[in-house]
A and B are shown apart, each in its own frame.
Chain A
Amino acid sequence: MAENHEIELTVSEFVALFNQTLEFAYPSITITGELANFRVSRNRWVYFDLKDDNSSVKFFGVVYQLPGPLEEGMILKVRGQPKLHNLYGFSVNVLSMQPAGEGSIRKAADLLKAKLVKEGLFDESRKRQLPYPPQRVGLIASKQSAAYTDFVKVLGARWTGIDIDLIDVQVQGEVAPQQIVGAVEQFNSMAEPPDVLILIRGGGSPEDLAAFSTEQVTRAVAASRVPTLVAIGHEIDISLAELAADQRASTPSNAAELLVPDRKHVQRELATSAKQLGQAAQSQLRSSKIEITQLRVELNQAVKLRLEREQTTLSSSRQILEVLNPAAVLKRGYAVVRQSGKTIRSSKQLKSGAIVETQLAEGRFTAQVNNITGEKS
């Protein structure tokens, strides 16, 4: 009787029925266990087992679902759909996967970090200077979070006139990485992107902060064309996204402090500058006044010396003139002899009996020429 009610199926029909039943009972299921027999095929397909002390289950997924490099023995939390494959048997098709437990999360982060370090993703040479202060900020955070409130409050207290565009994202849980990556890409693809991207989240357990150490988020931060500032958790928590950012801050409040100067401090500096400016102008003016006074003195001296030099030249000329004066020659006993007003320089010019006029230093007389002798005296 019972046999009559048994369903008789072909193999394919059984596979279809089995899958339909499973899908109805478990549309998706999350299983946590230790990773074993992990392998990647053709750089695309991923095969592994999750096991515990008594059981082992096969899983199948694709490479892009991996949270980062994995190592045998790590504890993974995998969400997937159980399926019976028509050729290869039973496995769970992976929908998402992430390391579970502090040890595995840290181990996974270490492996991923080593891989990204090797790629140069965290190199200092990639770091860009953030605009200081920026005019427009693209903020990626959870609007409900204390991190968001702290950031906006500190920013407003220090500086004003900054536009903040918020993309509200979940900052933990399975969808967090995808939402954060989406927000980074959305800001980057804007026609007028913001001056800087800020990614913040408050403190939490390693599991809470795991999204910020995933490969997708880390790569998205590194690839952002807009400069990035990332502040995740407390001072001691350093996520991979922070390492990939152009600048990291220890807390969301610290991010606001790094992003803009303190208005009061700037005002004090400006006041000091204004004072120094006034002093510099006064000092410059004093120097110029002293210089012009000195130039006036030099001008007076120069013209006085110039005239004195002229005076000296004149005196020399006077002396020379005096030496050349004929009166001075006559004083020494010489006389000038003239005939009819013409000075006689040679006896040849004279004839016996001629009347000549002789001029002495004092007085003159006329005389008659008697005896003409040689030409030279």
Chain B
Amino acid sequence: MTKAKQNYQVLKLELDTILSELQHDDVDVDQTLVKYQRGLELVQQLEAQLKDAENTITELQAKFPSST
């Protein structure tokens, strides 16, 4: 759980960096396309992790049902 969270933060930081680079002309056109592709991959991975987290919450709620 901790490792996945750490991973999420690392991926999110990379995505933020790519966005910043694209917004400030820090990369050439070839690199722009590479970065854009990497950005979309990161978005996909982050969305997958959020989906996993959502499933984990549902599983945990089933595993520890409310006693009241």
Residues of chain A having any CB pair with chain B under 8 Å: 267-268, 271, 274-275, 278, 281-282, 285, 288-289, 292, 295-296, 298-299, 302-303, 305-307, 309-310
Contact = CB atoms under 8 A, between A and B. Distances in A.
Q: What 7 A-B pairs are tightest by C-beta distance, nearest first?
A: A302-B22, A303-B36, A271-B68, A299-B39, A296-B43, A292-B46, A306-B22
B61 interface: yes
Contact of A307 (B16, B23, B32, B68): B32
Contacts of B40: 296, 299
B68 A299 contact: no
A316 to B, nearest CB: 15
A310 B27 CA distance: 11
A312 B33 CA distance: 18
Interface residues of B, number: 26
Majority DSSP secondary structure for residues of A touching B: helix
B19 A295 contact: yes
- Main secondary structure, interface of B, reads helix
Contact of B19 (A268, A275, A285, A299): A299
Interface of B: 15-16, 18-19, 22-23, 25, 29, 32-33, 35-36, 39-40, 43, 46-47, 50, 53-54, 57, 61, 64, 66-68
Contacts of A281: 57
B47 A268 contact: no
B64 A307 contact: no
| Max count, chain B CB within 10 A of own CB: residue among A271, A285, A298, A306 | A306
8 contacts: A296-B40, A299-B40, A302-B19, A303-B35, A303-B36, A305-B23, A306-B32, A307-B32
Contacts of A305: 22-23
Contacts, number: 60
Given A285-B50, A292-B46, A302-B22, 5 more contacts: A282-B57, A285-B53, A295-B15, A303-B36, A306-B22
A299 B50 contact: no
Contacts of A274: 64, 66
Given A289-B50, A307-B32, A299 B66 contact: no
B43 A292 contact: yes
Contact of A310 (B16, B29, B39, B66): B29
A313 B64 CA distance: 60
Given A285-B53, A302-B22, A278 B68 contact: no
B18 A299 contact: yes
Contacts of B29: 307, 310
A285 B54 CA distance: 7
Given A298-B19, A299-B40, A288 B50 contact: yes
